[in-house]
Amino acid sequence: AQKITQTQPGMFVQEKEAVTLDCTYDTSDPSYGLFWYKQPSSGEMIFLIYQGSYDQQNATEGRYSLNFQKARKSANLVISASQLGDSAMYFCAMREGPPGGGNKLTFGTGTQLKVEL
Amino acid sequence: EPEVTQTPSHQVTQMGQEVILRCVPISNHLYFYWYRQILGQKVEFLVSFYNNEISEKSEIFDDQFSVERPDGSNFTLKIRSTKLEDSAMYFCASSEAPRGGETQYFGPGTRLLVL
């Protein structure tokens, strides 16, 4: 079974609208972390937001928020007020095990987001 | 803002040749990682490194691969005898010490093309 599933290969959104990128995960470890990274066409990987499995509140970073539903094992990224510069590939990733252990990240297949005028 | 740097940005090599990819992690970080991304595919973990030794490696990281921290700032990935299927973007990443943040910050990548 895939550890990270991103079911939307491509998404379109109008500028200034909000968009939700889906991510579901699979782990039996009670301690884990979920990350979202942005990869523009230039290729670099930019960290956006992090949610720990024991965090009580959903993470937010500026226009990014993470809709964490632990029982459903989902960690969807919400981008509010989309901008043209948000057009990129977005990857969801998971670290299994407690924080601080230097554990690897497992990535999903990504969602290509295109913001239109 | 501190960042991970990687050199070269692009490398073209002949099959069978050795390549060394270089990374300078963020200065106060103690965990280092290499990942790769074959064109159009997802990012895959290769190896993690802490306290001058490998902490974990994937099945991809076979005997053709090695990592080294030759001095206090550089972290290198060596591929001894490159194959066509080694063509990919290689990312270095680093994260802080155990009691610090655990986010892995990625470098801009080295795009390797094996001919």
Backbone angles phi, psi at A105, to 5 degrees: -100, 140
Closest residue, chain A, to B58 (C-alpha) = A104
Q: What is the DSSP letter of B71?
A: S
Given pLDDT bands bounded at 50, 70 and 90, which one contains residue B101? low
CB B42 within 8 A of CB A91: yes
Interchain proximity A104–B45, CB inside 8 Å? yes
Q: Exposed e or buried b for every residue in A51-67, given b needs 16+ CB within 10 A?
A: bbbeeeeebeeeebbbb
Q: By percentage, how much of chain B surpasses pLDDT 70? A: 96
CB B64 within 8 A of CB B19: no
Interchain proximity B109–A45, CB inside 8 Å? yes
Which residue would you say has higher pLDDT here, B41 or A115? Answer: A115
Residue B97 pLDDT: 61
CB A40 within 8 A of CB A88: yes
Q: What is the DSSP letter of A71?
A: T
Low pLDDT (below 50) residues in chain A: none
> Of A59-63, A98-102, B46-50, B79-83, where does mean pLDDT reach its minimum?
A98-102
Per-residue pLDDT, averaged over B47-52, amounts to 93
CB of A64 less than 8 A from some CB of B:
no
Residue B1 pLDDT: 76
Residue A99 pLDDT: 79
Q: Contacts of residue B104 in chain A, CB cutoff 8 Å?
A: 35, 47, 105
CB A109 within 8 A of CB A8: no
Tell whether the model's pLDDT for residue B96 goes beyond 90: no
Given pLDDT bands bounded at 50, 70 and 90, which one contains residue B98? low
Residue B99 pLDDT: 57
Write down the mean pLDDT value for chain B.
93
Measured CA distances, B86 to A4, B57, B90, B103 (Å):
24, 16, 10, 27
Distance from CA of A99 to the nearest CA of B (A): 6
Per-residue pLDDT, averaged over B81-99, amounts to 90
Backbone angles phi, psi at A28, to 5 degrees: -105, 0
